[in-house]
Amino acid sequence: MENNANMFWTGLSPDEAREALVNKDKSMRDKRMSLKDAVSKFINDGDNVGIGGFVDVRQPIATCHEMIRQGFKDLTLSFQSAGMAPEYLGAAMILNPEKCNIKRIELAYWAHEGFGLAPGWRYLAERGLIDIEDWSNYNMSARFKAGSMGLPFIPTRSPLGGDIKDTSRTKIIDCPFTGRKIGVIPASNPNVSVLHVQAADKFGNCIIRGTDCTCAEIAMASAHTIVTCEQLVSHELLCSNPKDVMIPFAAVDAVVEVPYGAYPGACRRHYWFDGDHIRNFLGLIAPIVKGGPTDALKAYFDEYIYGVENFEGFLQKVGVKDLLAVKALEMQNCERLA
Amino acid sequence: MENNANMFWTGLSPDEAREALVNKDKSMRDKRMSLKDAVSKFINDGDNVGIGGFVDVRQPIATCHEMIRQGFKDLTLSFQSAGMAPEYLGAAMILNPEKCNIKRIELAYWAHEGFGLAPGWRYLAERGLIDIEDWSNYNMSARFKAGSMGLPFIPTRSPLGGDIKDTSRTKIIDCPFTGRKIGVIPASNPNVSVLHVQAADKFGNCIIRGTDCTCAEIAMASAHTIVTCEQLVSHELLCSNPKDVMIPFAAVDAVVEVPYGAYPGACRRHYWFDGDHIRNFLGLIAPIVKGGPTDALKAYFDEYIYGVENFEGFLQKVGVKDLLAVKALEMQNCERLA
Amino acid sequence: MTASTDYTAQEIIVVAGSKILEDNKIVFVGTGLPMVAALLANRTHAPGLIPVFEAGAVGPPLRHGLPVSVGDSRTFTGASYVKGLNAAFELTQRGFADFGFIGGAEVDMYGNLNSTMMGDYPDGYQTPKVRLPGSGGASDMAASCERTILIVPHDKKKFNQQVSYMTSPGHLDGSPGARQKAGMQGKGPYRVITTKGICDFEEGSNRMRLIHTYPGETVESIQEATGFELLVSPDVSEFPAPTVEEIRLIREEIDPNGVFVKRVAK
Amino acid sequence: MTASTDYTAQEIIVVAGSKILEDNKIVFVGTGLPMVAALLANRTHAPGLIPVFEAGAVGPPLRHGLPVSVGDSRTFTGASYVKGLNAAFELTQRGFADFGFIGGAEVDMYGNLNSTMMGDYPDGYQTPKVRLPGSGGASDMAASCERTILIVPHDKKKFNQQVSYMTSPGHLDGSPGARQKAGMQGKGPYRVITTKGICDFEEGSNRMRLIHTYPGETVESIQEATGFELLVSPDVSEFPAPTVEEIRLIREEIDPNGVFVKRVAK
């Protein structure tokens, strides 16, 4: 609030975002690498990180686990509505703020809808450990969209009337054509975005099933993008109907095949939510908000994140039974022959 | 130019466009009707008509023929780049300005790329018979986009620097966030839009193959939309992959199955251009630009448009040979098993 | 149409919400009880109701079970149109959404909602006493749906003279044309559904006004639970108890696992 | 690499255009000769060239014949990404297009192009002497591609001190930072390919400068055909005649029907 009302850029300014793309190698080349390498290469301390997905749908969970293993400092997280991605990152900060540190969050919503509120959010916010900038889902989506369009701002009616306009960098102007009031909000151009999608080719072309969320806009707005995917397939198959491609290769820097990469969240056509895993995890953080001990949360991190080499190690800990169960649930939502 | 530099709304103002939608029956109901009824019901004298397609791709030719048969007065035509749609409408005005009358054109381009310049355009413009407002392709597309988003304007960098900003209703403002100059252009909300697509269901959900052009934005921006389609299919088939749907039913008012409805232009997966028919038609107008007689053009209209009941009658005049030829050409561009 | 004698506060909210939804209208559905109410309306008097979910689904038949998220796979199967958040909110900003259906943690007499924070605003914005999830799409719906239906549990602490933070603007300060003057679109809050009754907003003053009391409640008991002076409609009436069939639909077909409709006895 | 002795003015334009395009770069391709040049580059030194067409296709392999329109079906088959005009221009405005390749009917010494009208501007804007097709996407490319390559037939009436109408802004008045001051992005015009030679723009003055003369032309013959004073690079050199193989590719494989490359003898 103190400074949100004044204008400043987090991530890249519009001119910097343009220059980043102009100077980038945008060729159609093989971008496959390990998630370890992708996180180490493209996520730097101090970055503004755009997070894809929506609440617990298609969140880049595997990438968040890897970020936690490598540690991060002074990050700004930018998203519309998120669930387990910031919950993991935030819990890592609760346990060890030296190793994992979030400086600021620009968001519309952090909770888990049917699975409950976000204790990590309450902990960080109520203790004043992070800068907060509230927006709405459309505000944040439109900010990424402005960034993806190469515009410094975009008009929207959403911030009119309420308090969001006063606690964010929104400005209310008189429309140059109608004279009526309208909101204008600054573009968001993250340094890097982290996304999970259903399918990609090695060049980074991506297919998304179900909601696109705001993933394409985030990727196009960011200077760099790390994509994890359920299936890495041939360019010919992926682009057999080019209109299915939601993110073009030129917007992507790293492609990593990570099956179940959004688990315990959901990924259309592949798996539904693991509500028990999510609720259990939230239950480990909730007592800490009220001053309780961190032991149980630490044990989870030691077993599931720090105690494994990579996301496949995490999935091994989760076990086949739970993975098959969420797969079976999704097959009921969206029946398909293999 | 005289008044383009001052602000006024053609079609609907943003507030009127909102009210039109609010008061409209947006239910999922059967919208099939004859093209005759659709044109008679939804296109009124004085309307701003948004025209879909791009140059000679997926232009709503069948609808333009029907408009000519019924006559039109004081229309404003709005499009990015168009070819045969305004060429037919403009030629009808050359022949009989009492019956068919265009008042104004807001456009980026009117010609035929590889098939040549547009003599209808030269005739109307050079004689000062219509108001002209020049934009660029992105300007016009973005104006429809702003209209479809419910915004009164949208920023774009395109009009900066050149003369378009001075002959259109563009304004150049200082960006409220960067302080740098940026263009803002007013939304376009046509009274009615006319579009041709590959497939639709009876509710008006539309699938577009190849370029979307700016069709979805035009449909969503307009108060009413007439869709002609190559194939009218069941709702279940059309929406079997909902992500293929580019225009949702609520934006559409009339659905008419018109095979070859963009002929002699092209329609991906169905037929390629009939270059000979296009060039022949342009050749009938070209001499009139230089003051030549209108007989040959009149003969074309009498035979192909006024002399037939509907577009199927036109296709019968064209004949099977030419229709099969353009179909065969497209099968080379885009091979598919039926 | 036997009246149920065994229903919970959340269940009557769902029934009330569903009855307000008109057939063949487009309703932008927020997460939680609004989803259950939209499903109930669809299964009863409004088979032509068209739900829109902010994650992008337009017009799904919702035959695969209750979504637990507005981005849930269950909202997409059979939908007419699926894009992402920008597309859904642009539809709304354009005027396609007849109703928006939203919840909040706190409401004032003009239908302004808070789902951001409890505490000392503006000074304590960065250190809230209780940090709530945030707007999500609620403020977008409030700003751009033609009419909004609000769901707020009835409690003196939640029906306040002034909300801690105005996340989702309603009738603002209630003055005539306040929304228009602020640059907003739409007619704003239309109904408030609480755990005790149903309110509309008085024309002119734009103040919350009781129009229906639930069985077991009175005008007085509801005023007692409200932190501001509630207007009362001259035609105030009792809202009928849900029918046995409505409760069966909710419990057995729509939310059999109690994802949103908790089985706390009334 | 035998030099051709039988090529047309349009053919050498195509060859010159193709040589300027760098491999693995993204080029926004306007209609006409730029399409032929992009195809030739792709078939020769730049197999990794990524064409973008304003109607929406990104990165098509272009193996189904020469498109006659930038919205042609032939631009879509095998593309990596296909949306519509807004998406293509937004990519460009964002900074994805390394080069834009455009034509015009008239150009000035700062690379400002006209494709709107000939006549008395501004007074005669509504009654032009000759009405041209209009900007199409040219002014968008001029405003937002990082660098632009211009194609203009060389003729004293077309290389003018001042263009009738500035459709596609180049270096504007040539003053340092003129584009930035106008709010524009990108470095602006990079090369001008004419029917007589190739120009760049002098650093500092941003004035058009001859760098290559085609066979049969001299600095003098080109200045003679130019309506303003053309600067001449100290390193001005002859552009080699197209090779037999380049001409064969254009005539037999790329544009066998002479859609854009007309068979008028030089």
- DSSP string of C95-124, one letter each residue: T--SEEEEE-SEE-TT--EE-SEESSTTTT
> Is the Cβ–Cβ distance between B130 and B75 less than 8 Å?
no
Query: What is the separation, in whole angstroms, between the first and last Cα of chain C?
Result: 21
Residues of D in contact with A21 (CB under 8 A): 94-96
What is the mean pLDDT of the segment spanning D148-176?
A: 96
Distance in angstroms (rounded) separating the CA atoms of residues D112 and D120: 17
| Helices C9-20, C33-43: crossing angle, 10 deg rounding | 60
> Measured between CB atoms, does B55 come within 8 Å of chain D?
yes
Pairing status of strand C50-52 against strand C81-82? unpaired
Pairing status of strand D113-114 against strand D106-107? antiparallel
User: Are residues D143 and B167, on separate chains, in Cβ contact within 8 Å?
Assistant: no
* Touch criterion met for D and A (3+ Cβ pairs within 8 Å): yes
Give start and end residues of each alpha helix (H) in chain A.
Answer: 14-22, 35-42, 61-70, 84-95, 119-126, 137-148, 164-167, 215-221, 235-238, 275-289, 295-300, 311-318, 320-333
pTM of the model: 0.98
Q: Quick one: pLDDT at residue A4?
A: 86
* Touch criterion met for A and B (3+ Cβ pairs within 8 Å): yes
Residues 6 or more apart whose CB falls under 8 angstroms from that of B98 comprise: none
A293 belongs to a structural domain = yes
Phi and psi at B300, nearest 5°, equal: -60, -50
Instruction: Report which secondary-structure segment, H or E, holds B247.
Output: strand B245-247
Nearest CA in chain C to A181: C183
Q: What angle do CA A292, A295, A296 make, to 5 degrees?
A: 95
Evaluate if residue D62 carries a pLDDT over 60.
Answer: yes
Distance in angstroms (rounded) separating the CA atoms of residues C115 and D50: 47
Distance in angstroms (rounded) separating the CA atoms of residues A206 and A216: 9
Q: Quick one: pLDDT at residue C264?
A: 58
Distance in angstroms (rounded) separating the CA atoms of residues B313 and B38: 18
Query: Which residues partner with A57 through β-bridges?
Result: A54, A266
- Quote the radius of gyration of chain B (alpha carbons, Å): 19
> Measured between CB atoms, does B5 come within 8 Å of chain C?
no
What is the mean pLDDT of the segment spanning D189-205?
A: 97
Nearest CA in chain B to A142: B149
> Measured between CB atoms, does A19 come within 8 Å of chain D?
yes
Q: Quick one: pLDDT at residue A1?
A: 43
User: Are residues A26 and D94, on separate chains, in Cβ contact within 8 Å?
Assistant: no
Evaluate if residue D85 carries a pLDDT over 50.
Answer: yes
* Touch criterion met for D and C (3+ Cβ pairs within 8 Å): no
A167 belongs to a structural domain = no
Restricting to D residues 80-109, those with a Cβ less than 8 Å away from any Cβ of B are 82-86, 89, 93
Residues 6 or more apart whose CB falls under 8 angstroms from that of A321 comprise: none
A neighbour chains, 3+ CB pairs within 8 Å:
B, C, D
Nearest CA in chain B to D183: B181
Residues of B in contact with A176 (CB under 8 A): 153, 171, 173, 184
Q: State the smallest CA–CA distance between residue D219 and chain B in angstroms.
A: 30
Catalytic residue flag (residue C217): no
Residue B251, domain extent = 30-149+190-337
What is the mean pLDDT of the segment spanning C206-218?
A: 98
Residue (of C190, C184, C138) closest to C22 by Cα position: C190
> Measured between CB atoms, does B18 come within 8 Å of chain C?
yes
> Measured between CB atoms, does C146 come within 8 Å of chain B?
yes
Best of D27, D62, D81 to mutate (most A CBs within 10 Å, chain A): D81
User: Are residues D127 and B127, on separate chains, in Cβ contact within 8 Å?
Assistant: yes
Instruction: Report which secondary-structure segment, H or E, holds B68.
Output: helix B61-70
Question: Catalytic residue among D54, D146, D217, D246, which?
Answer: D54
Q: What is the DSSP letter of A253?
A: S
Structure tokens at A172: 């209310």
What is the mean pLDDT of the segment spanning B72-98?
A: 98
Q: Structural domain tally of chain A?
A: 1
Evaluate if residue D99 carries a pLDDT over 80.
Answer: yes
Restricting to B residues 70-129, those with a Cβ less than 8 Å away from any Cβ of A are none
Residues of A in contact with B209 (CB under 8 A): 243
User: Are residues A153 and B155, on separate chains, in Cβ contact within 8 Å?
Assistant: yes
Distance in angstroms (rounded) separating the CA atoms of residues B211 and A141: 24
Q: State the smallest CA–CA distance between residue D22 and chain B in angstroms.
A: 25
What is the mean pLDDT of the segment spanning C160-189?
A: 97
Amino acid at B216: A
Q: Quick one: pLDDT at residue B338?
A: 83
> Is the Cβ–Cβ distance between B79 and B85 less than 8 Å?
yes
Evaluate if residue C266 carries a pLDDT over 60.
Answer: no
Best of B15, B165, B178 to mutate (most A CBs within 10 Å, chain A): B178
Q: Which of D50, D81, D93 sits opposite A242 (nearest CB)?
A: D81
User: Are residues D32 and B113, on separate chains, in Cβ contact within 8 Å?
Assistant: yes
B36: region left, alpha or beta (phi > 0 left; psi from -120 to 50 alpha): alpha
Restricting to B residues 100-119, those with a Cβ less than 8 Å away from any Cβ of D are 107-111, 113-115, 117-118
C-alpha distances in Å from residue D180, one per residue of B161, D176, D177 = 10, 9, 5
User: Are residues D166 and B126, on separate chains, in Cβ contact within 8 Å?
Assistant: no
Q: State the smallest CA–CA distance between residue B151 and chain C in angstroms.
A: 7
User: Are residues B182 and A156, on separate chains, in Cβ contact within 8 Å?
Assistant: no
Best of A19, A174, A177 to mutate (most B CBs within 10 Å, chain B): A177
> Measured between CB atoms, does C64 come within 8 Å of chain A?
yes
Q: Which of B7, B177, B184 sits opposite A186 (nearest CB)?
A: B177
> Between the CA atoms of D28, D32, D34 and D40, what dihedral angle is there, to the nearest 10 degrees?
120
Best of C135, C172, C185, C261 to mutate (most A CBs within 10 Å, chain A): C135
B88 belongs to a structural domain = yes
* Touch criterion met for A and C (3+ Cβ pairs within 8 Å): yes
What is the mean pLDDT of the segment spanning C174-185?
A: 96
A16 belongs to a structural domain = no
Evaluate if residue D64 carries a pLDDT over 90.
Answer: no
Do the interacting molecules here have an ipTM over 0.85? yes
Distance in angstroms (rounded) separating the CA atoms of residues A222 and A216: 10
| Helices A61-70, A311-318: crossing angle, 10 deg rounding | 110
Best of D69, D165, D185 to mutate (most B CBs within 10 Å, chain B): D69
Q: State the smallest CA–CA distance between residue C65 and chain B in angstroms.
A: 18
A83 belongs to a structural domain = yes
Residue D265 binned pLDDT confidence (cut-offs 50, 70, 90): very low
Q: Which of B56, B158, B275 sits opposite D140 (nearest CB)?
A: B158
Low-confidence ranges of chain A (pLDDT < 50): 1-2
Q: Quick one: pLDDT at residue B1?
A: 43
Q: Quick one: pLDDT at residue D263?
A: 67
Q: Quick one: pLDDT at residue C263?
A: 67
What domains lie within chain D, and their CATH numbers? 9-254 (3.40.1080.10)
Burial class (CB in 10 A: 0-12, 13-18, 19+), A269: middle
Restricting to D residues 155-194, those with a Cβ less than 8 Å away from any Cβ of B are 165-169, 172, 179, 181-185
Evaluate if residue C159 carries a pLDDT over 80.
Answer: yes
What is the mean pLDDT of the segment spanning C109-132?
A: 97
Nearest CA in chain B to A15: B178
Distance in angstroms (rounded) separating the CA atoms of residues B297 and B300: 5
Q: Which of C79, C146, C185 sits opposite B239 (nearest CB)?
A: C79
Restricting to A residues 205-224, those with a Cβ less than 8 Å away from any Cβ of C are 210-217
State the DSSP string of C175-211. Answer: -TTHHHHTT--S-EEEEEE-SSEEEEE-TTT--EEEE
Q: Quick one: pLDDT at residue D266?
A: 39
**Residue that the structure tokens 């928006």 belong to:** C100
Amino acid at B304: Y
Evaluate if residue B271 carries a pLDDT over 70.
Answer: yes
Return the SS3 of A86. Answer: helix
The CATH number given to whatever domain includes residue A39 is 3.40.1080.10
Q: State the smallest CA–CA distance between residue C113 and chain B in angstroms.
A: 24
